[in-house]
Amino acid sequence: MRFELPALPYDRHSLEPHLSAAMVDAHYSGYHLACIQRLNTRLECLNPTADSLEELLDSTDDEIAYLAAEVWNHAFYWHCLTPWGNTTPAAELKADIDGAFGSLAGFHQAFKTSALAHIGSGWIWLIRNHDGQLTIITTNDGQAPLAQGIKPLIGIDLWEHAWYLDFQNNRDAYLDAISTLINWDFVTLNNG
């Protein structure tokens, strides 16, 4: 089994001026592709029987589980963003966001606060927890909530490779830029 770099759902320059084409290219053609190549190399060595990234998340081989999570997380991340303006959540999801965070602005603030509080590399997620409530969580390194049976609605990369080229040490500015690119149509599909 070999994994391929999935096509971006938009052109690399489409997220400008919020994320530069150079940043998207370095992240997508650099880091994301490297994770896929490393995963394929590791899979060739071990020849596991899993047929999907989702199955590999549970691998007993730590490197395979990590790389599968990073590959899955990145494919999900690219779809969480859209160049076509900040779409809005569907009515049911918007009501749940209002209930959990007070408003969409309250969600963005809580999301940013949690992301800034996260120490080191990782991801920030909007999930629907096992009780059905919307919750913001962060994961370390390449962990994926999907590995714990939690389907994410939004996943944003907090690793420096996601933002350093454009924002240097200013994660705050990266998060502000990302908040204008959230693909609420995709989030709504994940909520269904």
Q: Where are the alpha helices (DSSP H) in the chain?
A: 21-25, 33-46, 53-56, 62-80, 91-101, 104-117, 164-167, 171-179, 184-191
Residues making up the annotated binding site for Mn(2+) are 27, 74, 157, 161
- Using a pLDDT cut of 90, give the percent of the chain over it: 84
Residues making up the annotated binding site are 27, 74, 157, 161
- Using one digit for the tens of pLDDT, what is the confidence trace for 134-147? 999 999 998 999 88
**Residue 59 in contact with residue 53, Cβ under 8 Å?**
no
- In the chain, where are the structural domains located? 19-191
* Fold entry, domain 19-191: minor pseudopilin epsh fold (3.55.40)
- Using one digit for the tens of pLDDT, what is the confidence trace for 44-97? 888 777 789 999 998 889 999 999 999 999 999 999 999 986 678 999 999 999
pLDDT of res. 87: 77
User: Is beta strand 134-140 parallel, antiparallel or unpaired with respect to 122-128?
Assistant: antiparallel
pTM of the model: 0.95
